[in-house]
Amino acid sequence: MPTLTPKQAQTLTRAIRKSPRFFLRDYLGADPWHTQISIIESVRDNRVTTVRSCHGIGKSWIAARTAAWFLMAYPNSVVVTTAPTGRQVKEILWREFRVAAKKAKYKFPGKTLTTQHEISDKWYAIGVSAKDPDNFQGFHADHILVIVDEAAGVNEPIFEAVDALVTSANARVLYIGNPTSVGGTFYDSHRSHLANKLHVSCWMTPNFTENGIKRCEAIDCKLPNHPAEAVVEAIESGREQSPEWKIPRPHLVSVRWVYERIFKWGIGTPLWDSRVEGEFPKSGTRALIALNLVEAAMTEERHAEVKVGPSRFGVDSAGGGDMSAIYHRRGQKGESIRAWLTPDTTAINDEIEKLNPTDHLTQVKIEAMGLGIPIYDAAARKVRENPHWLHKIIPVNTADPPTVKDPGPGEYEFANLRAEMWWQVSRLFINGEIAVPDDEELKVELSAVEWYLKNGKIHVEDKKELRKRIGRSPDRADALVISYAPVDGGDNVLVLENPESRRSTPETYTSGLLGKQF
């Protein structure tokens, strides 16, 4: 790796500042695709650059190299990078920075550490977690760049702290991420004339464009509302396996990946909108639980933070091609979610019998409607017949009236118990008080459910409505919500418990949540 003289270094700095493309290709020896070049050039030319994109375009790759470019282009500059979690800062963006520094054609001045590159006391880049606004205090420079990776997952106080950093004339900001949340600074930046807005969908990436795979607009679609017709044709006709098929960028999003998401997620779901189309979810403010909140609840950090308590199981019984599901949590920490096609109620009863109660506080909450009624009856018989079974069996009829009869001045009533349960669980996501298993199907279902007001009451769309809209029933999500059902369950619900478990205390369900509804 050649060493430069001071004069050569000055010439190189001017060249890097003028041409980020030169820096990426000739200094780093990297091979960016055209949109990655557009992103770094936008940071050069604009005070605020905001990028909403699909999955797998190399967002963190270019964000890390943009940090390196800014540092090398402006002596005595400061770069601050952040992301929703410490793991994302360390293991994703800064891993890319370390790789870029190691593979560069020319030696980086200074020293690269785990989440920091320091050239001098006043010339450095650093990665900080977006957990605390105080992490952003004390950074000052004539040239400063702040990069917010996975920006939709960052809390608003952090954006306020970032804004306080970039007061100088030569400051730059880069917001980049999947558009998973409707609302907040990242969302607003794509509607502001103060930012240069870039959008990247999977259809714009090389593995699609070089194979002629285009998004089918509604007017041209053979099937109604099927923008991925060309994807289906390419895979199911076998064209993807032909010698003519090109994979110019193996590390970028693939046509097959998108094909699989048609069936795993469904076209038009929030996950499809944000991860494939690179757009903010069309459901917008109708979504009860925003996708970014679901993803935050699935992180390792959230699982380490939430309170652990007695075991609760939620059982959602289904037939007619839908899945039955059992959700297990301990306190607010989700432990597991299982779902399977059940030919008859015996199979579900067998699964309930296999549940392993940890103590006398264990509760099994069963949706006692339709197919769930004989399942609850069988479980209740098991309690009566086995004095050593520690389960408390609780039937839940989601069509029952809500347990909250008078929510208070200025607040809305719930249409039924289902609406109340879903609404209160959504508050746990909003307040960051719940951790759930990292399960792709659960993510789809939780983020797809919508709510609406009718006759002055809060309604949550039922299974039939959701199945019609996205082609699937929210079985896993319903099992999760059922696990949070109120113990008393309203006037029509009888709690049946083993006499051995009477030392348990009732679970307070709505305490502390109603005041946070709006």
Instruction: List pLDDT tens digits, range 256-303.
Output: 999 999 988 888 888 899 999 999 988 766 889 999 999 999 999 999
| Spacing of C-alpha 236 from chain mean position | 30
**Whether residue 357 sits in one domain with residue 453:** yes
Cα-based angle 25, 207, 83 (whole degrees, multiple of 5):
65
- Is residue 24 within 8 Å of residue 37, measured between CB atoms? yes
Give the per-residue pLDDT at 504. Answer: 33
Does position 193 have pLDDT exceeding 50, yes or no?
yes
Query: What is the residue range of 319's domain?
Result: 291-516
Do 208 and 238 belong to one domain? yes
229 with 189, same domain?
no
In a domain, 332, yes or no: yes
Residue 211 and residue 178 in one domain: no
Q: How far apart are CA 481 and CA 294, in angstroms?
A: 13
In a domain, 491, yes or no: yes
In a domain, 191, yes or no: yes
Kind plus residue range of the DSSP H or E element containing 41: helix 34-45
| Per-residue pLDDT tens digits for 50-87 | 999 999 999 999 999 999 999 999 999 999 999 999 99
Each residue of 412-439: pLDDT tens digit?
789 999 999 999 999 999 899 999 999 9
The confidence score (pLDDT) of residue 359 equals: 61
Residue where a domain terminates, one of 200, 225, 241: 200
Residue type, 297: A
- 425: domain CATH number? 3.30.420.240
Q: Are residues 425 and 504 in the same domain?
A: yes
Residues 144 and 168 sit within 8 Å (Cβ to Cβ): yes
Q: What is the CA radius of gyration of the chain?
A: 26
Q: What is the pTM of this model?
A: 0.79
Query: Which of residues 146, 179, 200 is at a domain's end?
Result: 200
Q: Does residue 471 or residue 495 have the better pLDDT?
A: 471
Residue 138 shares a structural domain with residue 237: no
Averaged pLDDT for residues 401-416? 79
Q: What is the pLDDT of residue 490?
A: 36
Same domain, yes or no: 211 and 192: no
Q: What is the Cα 150 distance to its own chain's centre?
A: 10
Report if residue 97 sits inside a domain.
Answer: yes
What does the DSSP assignment read for 82-112?
EESSHHHIIIIIHHHHHHHHHH-SSPPSSEE
- Checking if the pLDDT of 198 tops 60, the result is yes
Query: Which residue is it, tokens 């609850």?
Result: 376
- CATH at residue 89: 3.40.50.300
pLDDT for 409 equals: 60
Cα angle value 139/159/99 (rounded, 5°): 65
CA 317 – CA 323 distance, rounded (Å): 8
Please indicate, yes or no, if residue 1 is contained in any of the structural domains.
no
400 & 252 share domain: no
| CA distances for 181 relative to 229, 272, 297, angstroms | 27, 13, 14
Nearest by Cα to 446 from 288, 277, 313: 288
- pLDDT of residue 337 exceeding 90, the answer is yes
CA 461 vs CA 205, 416, 472: distances in Å: 36, 11, 13
User: What's the rounded mean pLDDT across residues 349-369?
Assistant: 76
Q: Same structural domain for residues 304 and 444? A: yes
| pLDDT score, position 5 | 80
For the chain, the domain total comes to: 3
Find the helix or strand (DSSP H, E) in which 263 lies: helix 255-264
Give pLDDT tens digits for 43-54.
999 999 999 999
Q: What is the mean pLDDT of residues 374-403?
A: 80
Is 430 contained in some domain? yes
Last residue of one domain, picked from the residues 200, 230, 247: 200
In a domain? residue 356 = yes
22 lies in the same domain as 167: yes
Q: Does one domain contain both 31 and 58? A: yes
Chain centroid to CA 73: how far?
A: 34
Are residues 139 and 240 located together in one domain of the fold? no
Give pLDDT, residue 375.
80
Within a domain: 313: yes
Residue 119 CA, distance from chain mean position? 35
d(CA 386, CA 390): 9
**Distance, CA of 481 to CA of 320 (rounded, Å):** 21
Beta strands in 257-322 (DSSP E): 311-316
Residue 141 pLDDT: 93
Give residue 48's Cα distance to chain centre: 24
> Of the given ranges (289-293, 298-302, 354-358, 445-449), which has the lowest mean pLDDT?
354-358
Structure tokens at 305: 């933070």
